[in-house]
Amino acid sequence: GAVVSQHPSRVICKSGTSVKIECRSLDFQATTMFWYRQFPKQSLMLMATSNEGSKATYEQGVEKDKFLINHASLTLSTLTVTSAHPEDSSFYICSASVAGGPDTQYFGPGTRLTVL
C-alpha cells in the first residue's frame, strides 16, 4: 500500500527558532500533499494544500509567512514553522493522495512539535 513518511517524528525547540518538517511519499508520486494540525484531544484541521511546482494554498487564518510550505518534487513536501512560539506546539500531520488515483488520502505518522 501507499506509504507516507514524516521526519522528524518528534522535535523540541526553543521559542524563536525555526523547525522544518519533511513529508515524503515513499512508493508513489503525489502532485498534491496536505498539511494538518491537531491539538490534543481535538480534530485535524487543514492548514494548507501543497502543490508540486507551485505555491501552496493556505486555509483561512493560517499565516503563510509563518508556515512556509515547499513542494519541491512529486515525493517531498516540507513545512517550516518559522519563529516558533509555545502556541505552535501541536501534532503536525501530512497526507498525500496518489497522483491520478482515487481520493483516498494516506497519512504520515505525524510530527509532535513542542516549543519551550
Partner 1 sequence: GQQVMQIPQYQHVQEGEDFTTYCNSSTTLSNIQWYKQRPGGHPVFLIQLVKSGEVKKQKRLTFQFGEAKKNSSLHITATQTTDVGTYFCAADTGRRALTFGSGTRLQVQP
HEC per residue, the chain: CCCEEEECCEEEECCCCCEEEEEEECCCCCCEEEEEEECCCCCEEEEEEEECCCCCEECCCCCCCCEEEEEEECCEEEEEECCCCHHHCEEEEEEECCCCCCCCCEECCCEEEEEC
- The correct pick among 60, 65, 86, 87 for binding partner 1 (CB under 8 A) is 60
- The correct pick among 42, 73, 83, 114 for binding partner 1 (CB under 8 A) is 42
* Residue 89 is a binding residue for partner 1 (CB under 8 A): no
Give ∠ CA 14-15-19 in degrees, rounded to 5. Answer: 70
Give me the least distance between CB of 43 and partner 1, in Å please: 5
* Residue 5 is a binding residue for partner 1 (CB under 8 A): no
Q: How many chain residues bind partner 1 (CB under 8 A)?
A: 24
* Residue 45 is a binding residue for partner 1 (CB under 8 A): yes
- The correct pick among 5, 13, 20, 44 for binding partner 1 (CB under 8 A) is 44
Distance CA 21, CA 12 (A): 12
* Residue 90 is a binding residue for partner 1 (CB under 8 A): no
* Residue 61 is a binding residue for partner 1 (CB under 8 A): no
**Residues found near partner 1 in the complex (CB under 8 A):** 32, 34, 36, 41-46, 49, 57, 60, 93, 95, 97, 102-110
